[in-house]
Chains A and B, each alone.
Chain A
């Protein structure tokens, strides 16, 4: 017990530095990880798909994919994992850390970039660095998938309108024969800059020790 405890504590220290979570938060997330993975060391897609609360979520597949996406880890490779360990899980979760009052302006911009990057990766499923019209359409269709047939028909129109808007804002003077291939990361950042992702895209992580997590499984 002593050996494993120091081993895991050492790991925690490491992770605090990499992800910015506090030790308490990491412990709680580790408990959750073990709960989800059935006490195995790695998490697979089926484990996440089995969460009942997630069943109602229209973009469930994208969310699950995001956990297994290599681009969301620090190394920036392409492709996806088959199964992830706790470190990768934590890395993905760290994208949703809230701002603290002591965050400086540069840190804020960095955080915003990181969060927007996460969103971008969620949309850009083939990894080519651009969100094409097809990918965007698919995203909007998923979003409206709960609304049945009405949703599907309008989804294309909405995606087209949105794409047009991005194109007109970022590349205003295109000739009629030019082709706008897809939303690049810079354009994506530009259109979302008013939303201020660094203050919106966060989840509250528990600091306190919640012994019985009655939810989820």
Chain B
């Protein structure tokens, strides 16, 4: 409903839209809250009702119940579904209110909503269900987020900075844990708030250290949630994010270590050494488990060519198994999941179909999005739920100590790291890294499962820290990034020149290293790539795709994208760059000439593998060759998806765009000269396939003629390759299109016409055309909610496994 209103005029409607949105939001929140409390009330009532019928069974015959309430059987799924629905509606709501999402990051809003819902529940039932239990969190909510992060991890920057990331993750977390733990113990011993009811000095050193280890870990969920909105440059993003992922191993080890020590009561040197060993085992073990499952998944995907439908399932299942297997052995589940996703991705993507790839991408995004929303809401609810022990000294000192520890840690480590890095980290970078150390739900869950007697005060402190980092740091990081003019993410797509030169540079630097005679990064990377190409790819990738070097794969992807884009945009405008350009192949071909029909088609049409060729042909067939069908009839049965719902406003926009374009054309008449007609359909298909806008002019004609709803101006069916005579000028058309046609006629004469592409010039009503555009849109690609994401993802895959 809202989307249809939007194109027609925003100003007056905008404000009422926002108000409507807010109203909707409030209603939904209240509704959900009350429903939740109601169903809980019903469930408690039905419990009591259960007991009675057993005894009264044989005394009286009850009449047949036409309508009854039997809530118990479905209570659990029902409540889960309600929560997920609440989370999704919240997400919807925030994006309806335009200005709010710019100022406040989503995570803050979600926590507030959680607080609200928790408050409602508490009022309604006087108790809140413990929704953020650790089992739900670690088994259901966390894996999708981590898998999403791991599968789409940008491998090249990650591996290039792995040393730095490990330093921050391991040494930084250790430093934080001991610093905070130790100093908080000191504070507890020294200070004592006479108004509090807790005797702080009873908290021993080990619980304090345990607390320190829980609170010191940077949380991937929170980092993702906040950093995604600030679009910071790749290096900083991968540093903070990588740190948040890899410190899981450290956290797991420290946590179990201190827990064991607390139970056993004493620490010895052997235990400390065992702790160190255990750390290596946890980290490396997790990675190995993940890599193992990743290779299994890649291998399985090799054989799925006949059962394409379940391909995504393998990806998800193997990854989840990796996570669970790691958890069984107390290894780091997060690292296992990351390793699995990163290892399997290059091979799986070479094996699976385009649609499976899209499915995987969208499922992962959907699950991780919902998970994240739920986590934050539950955080809010859990805050309201527990009984808190407010001890001001403990709380404030925790907050201050965490901040101080983080800053000292980052600065100190950077000082050491910069000695080894080539691209040094500046002060600005250090500030962002320190400031981006957000804590989140993992810390909360770990605190939740504590068995300590001081659990309550720890939990309160953890929640305070989480709130502080998410609210204060989360909200202020965006303006700070602007203020400090930190470099932002480079949003532009990768061009083929950049790709060529990246590969070129790789080989060049490897060569120079060889000449210099020492084994540096590039040498080892090169060796790994060779090994990969020679052995691994042959095993894990099906068919002849295993031989395809990265550059060629990139090029094919680019071509496919161009072909698809060309179809979507109605077959005319320039695709590849943002500048309108009239440069075409003939501008760069050397002047010596051979008949244009034969040679250019050779040069321009890349030799594709069969599968690819089929795909591209399929795309083009549906667009170019079947213009006849488009002209004549609109047959709903040939459509895959019903285009009608959203068709209208898109149509409207398209029409308007076309009209604007025509107007612009009128002013550029000197460019309306037609390139030399090259008669073969292969040629024009090839030109379209290669994405070059050599058909700039016919496209304009197409657009020009679309304006006129001239039903007489179409070509007879069956006239595909027959040269058509353009006699339709007599038909009532708008003067613009007539003028354009004149130009065509002048240059080409009345006999020969470009068979497939110029026939597009004689289109009938724009409405049909628009609808067909819609159908093609659906058939070929799913635009999805975030086209930018789409592009980013595909150009993300700079794996170390090129040619």
Question: Interface of A with B (CB < 8 Å)?
Answer: 29, 32, 35-36, 48, 51, 53-54, 56-60, 63, 93, 96, 98-101, 119, 122, 132-134, 139-140, 143-144, 146-148, 150-151, 153-154, 156-158, 160-169, 171-176, 178-180, 191-192, 194-195, 199-206, 210, 213, 215-216
Residue on B with the closest CB to A172? Answer: B581
Are A154 and B504 in touch, CB under 8 angstroms?
no
- Residues B545-578 near A (CB distance < 8 A): 547-549, 551-552, 555, 558, 574, 576-577
Are B496 and A57 in touch, CB under 8 angstroms?
no
Does B520 reach chain A (CB closer than 8 Å)?
yes
Q: A60-B511, A101-B418, A194-B490 are in contact. Are A169 and B579 (CB under 8 A)?
A: yes
Q: How far is the CA of A179 from the CA of B587 in the complex (A)?
A: 5
Are B530 and A56 in touch, CB under 8 angstroms?
yes
Q: A54-B511, A98-B422, A168-B579 are in contact. Are A191 and B497 (CB under 8 A)?
A: yes
Are A194 and B498 in touch, CB under 8 angstroms?
yes
Are A215 and B590 in touch, CB under 8 angstroms?
no
Are A191 and B495 in touch, CB under 8 angstroms?
yes
Q: Which of B501, B513, B583, B671 has the most CB of A within 10 A?
A: B583
Instruction: Return chain A residues, CB-CB under 8 Å to B505.
Output: 119, 195, 200-201
Q: A157-B604, A164-B583, A171-B583 are in contact. Are A133 and B588 (CB under 8 A)?
A: yes
Instruction: Return chain A residues, CB-CB under 8 Å to B548.
Output: 147, 150
Q: Give, as a whole number of angstroms, the nearest-CB distance from B662 to chain A.
A: 19
Q: Give, as a whole number of angstroms, the nearest-CB distance from A158 to chain B.
A: 5
Q: A57-B507, A178-B587 are in contact. Are A168 and B497 (CB under 8 A)?
A: no
Interface contacts beyond A175-B582, A204-B520: sample of 9 additional A-B pairs, CB < 8 Å, sorted by A: A56-B526, A56-B530, A59-B507, A167-B588, A168-B576, A195-B498, A195-B505, A204-B518, A213-B517
Are A176 and B496 in touch, CB under 8 angstroms?
no
Are A201 and B511 in touch, CB under 8 angstroms?
no
Instruction: Return chain A residues, CB-CB under 8 Å to B589.
Output: 133
Q: How far is the CA of A172 from the CA of B574 in the complex (A)?
A: 11
Residue on A with the closest CB to B502? Answer: A195
23 contacts between A and B (CB under 8 A): A36-B517, A59-B511, A63-B515, A96-B512, A98-B422, A143-B504, A144-B803, A150-B552, A160-B604, A161-B690, A162-B496, A164-B583, A165-B497, A168-B581, A174-B587, A180-B583, A201-B508, A203-B509, A204-B422, A204-B520, A206-B518, A215-B518, A216-B514
Q: A146-B803, A150-B548, A195-B502 are in contact. Are A163 and B588 (CB under 8 A)?
A: yes
Instruction: Return chain B residues, CB-CB under 8 Å to A29.
Output: 516
Q: How far is the CA of A162 from the CA of B496 in the complex (A)?
A: 6
Q: Give, as a whole number of angstroms, the nearest-CB distance from B491 to chain A.
A: 10
Q: Give, as a whole number of angstroms, the nearest-CB distance from B117 to chain A.
A: 45
A-B contact count (CB 8 A): 206
Are A168 and B577 in touch, CB under 8 angstroms?
yes
Are B555 and A158 in touch, CB under 8 angstroms?
yes
Are B516 and A93 in touch, CB under 8 angstroms?
yes
Q: Give, as a whole number of angstroms, the nearest-CB distance from A182 to chain B.
A: 9
Are B551 and A99 in touch, CB under 8 angstroms?
no
Instruction: Return chain B residues, CB-CB under 8 Å to A96.
Output: 509, 512
Q: Which of A99, A153, A156, A203 has the most CB of B within 10 A?
A: A203
Are A161 and B496 in touch, CB under 8 angstroms?
yes
Q: How far is the CA of A53 from the CA of B519 in the complex (A)?
A: 10
Does B729 reach chain A (CB closer than 8 Å)?
no
Instruction: Return chain B residues, CB-CB under 8 Å to A166.
Output: 497
Residue on B with the closest CB to A89? Answer: B515
Q: How far is the CA of A161 from the CA of B499 in the complex (A)?
A: 12
Q: A154-B552, A200-B505 are in contact. Are A215 and B519 (CB under 8 A)?
A: yes
Q: How far is the CA of A70 from the CA of B257 in the complex (A)?
A: 64
Instruction: Return chain B residues, CB-CB under 8 Å to A161.
Output: 496, 555, 558, 690-691
Chain B interface size range? 35 or more
Does B100 reach chain A (CB closer than 8 Å)?
no
Q: How far is the CA of A147 from the CA of B555 in the complex (A)?
A: 15
Are A147 and B588 in touch, CB under 8 angstroms?
no
Q: Give, as a whole number of angstroms, the nearest-CB distance from A118 to chain B.
A: 9
- Residues B330-347 near A (CB distance < 8 A): none
Name B603's contact: one of A147, A156, A199 (CB within 8 Å): A156
Q: How far is the CA of A99 from the CA of B514 in the complex (A)?
A: 21
Q: A101-B418, A154-B552, A191-B495 are in contact. Are A162 and B511 (CB under 8 A)?
A: no
Q: How far is the CA of A154 from the CA of B516 in the complex (A)?
A: 33
Are A176 and B503 in touch, CB under 8 angstroms?
no
- Residues B384-410 near A (CB distance < 8 A): none
Residue on B with the closest CB to A56? Answer: B530
Are A143 and B551 in touch, CB under 8 angstroms?
yes
Q: A101-B418, A172-B582, A201-B509 are in contact. Are A164 and B588 (CB under 8 A)?
A: yes
Does B523 reach chain A (CB closer than 8 Å)?
yes
Q: A168-B577, A169-B577 are in contact. Are A210 and B586 (CB under 8 A)?
A: no
Name A58's contact: one of B507, B579, B582, B587 (CB within 8 Å): B507
Q: A63-B512, A157-B606, A194-B490 are in contact. Are A168 and B583 (CB under 8 A)?
A: yes
Are B510 and A57 in touch, CB under 8 angstroms?
yes
Name A173's contact: one of B422, B508, B581, B692 (CB within 8 Å): B581
Are A157 and B547 in touch, CB under 8 angstroms?
no
Does B732 reach chain A (CB closer than 8 Å)?
no
Q: How far is the CA of A48 from the CA of B512 in the complex (A)?
A: 11
Q: B673-702 vs A: 1/0 string, CB under 8 Å?
A: 101000000000000001110000000000
Q: How far is the CA of A165 from the CA of B604 in the complex (A)?
A: 14
Q: How far is the CA of A165 from the CA of B579 in the complex (A)?
A: 11
Instruction: Return chain A residues, CB-CB under 8 Å to B606.
Output: 153-154, 157-158
Does B15 reach chain A (CB closer than 8 Å)?
no
Q: A203-B513, A203-B522, A204-B422 are in contact. Are A144 and B549 (CB under 8 A)?
A: yes
Q: Give, as a whole number of angstroms, the nearest-CB distance from A130 to chain B.
A: 12
Name B514's contact: one of A53, A173, A195 (CB within 8 Å): A53
Q: How far is the CA of A58 from the CA of B519 in the complex (A)?
A: 18
Residue on B with the closest CB to A166? Answer: B497
Does B591 reach chain A (CB closer than 8 Å)?
yes
Q: How far is the CA of A168 from the CA of B591 in the complex (A)?
A: 18
Q: A99-B423, A165-B576, A168-B576 are in contact. Are A176 and B500 (CB under 8 A)?
A: no
Are B501 and A119 in touch, CB under 8 angstroms?
yes
Instruction: Return chain A residues, CB-CB under 8 Å to B585.
Output: 160, 164
Q: A164-B583, A215-B519 are in contact. Are A191 and B498 (CB under 8 A)?
A: yes
Q: Give, as a whole number of angstroms, the nearest-CB distance from B659 to chain A.
A: 23
Instruction: Return chain A residues, CB-CB under 8 Å to B515.
Output: 36, 48, 51, 54, 63
- Residues B447-461 near A (CB distance < 8 A): none
Residue on B with the closest CB to A197? Answer: B505
Name A143's contact: one of B500, B514, B516, B526 (CB within 8 Å): B500
Q: How far is the CA of A195 from the CA of B577 in the complex (A)?
A: 17
Instruction: Return chain B residues, CB-CB under 8 Å to A57.
Output: 507, 510-511, 514
Are A165 and B577 in touch, CB under 8 angstroms?
yes
Residue on A with the closest CB to B602? Answer: A156
Are B582 and A148 in touch, CB under 8 angstroms?
no
Residue on B with the closest CB to A152? Answer: B607
Q: Give, as a whole number of angstroms, the nearest-CB distance from B552 to chain A.
A: 5
Q: Give, as a whole number of angstroms, the nearest-CB distance from A159 to chain B.
A: 8
Q: How far is the CA of A54 from the CA of B773 in the complex (A)?
A: 52
Residue on A with the closest CB to B552? Answer: A154
Are A179 and B591 in touch, CB under 8 angstroms?
yes
Does B190 reach chain A (CB closer than 8 Å)?
no
Name A158's contact: one of B552, B580, B675 (CB within 8 Å): B552
Name A150's contact: one of B511, B523, B547, B577 (CB within 8 Å): B547
Q: Give, as a whole number of angstroms, the nearest-CB distance from B50 to chain A.
A: 68
Residue on B with the closest CB to A133? Answer: B588
Q: A54-B515, A175-B582 are in contact. Are A160 and B498 (CB under 8 A)?
A: no
Q: Which of A51, A158, A178 has the most CB of B within 10 A?
A: A158
Instruction: Return chain B residues, CB-CB under 8 Å to A163.
Output: 588
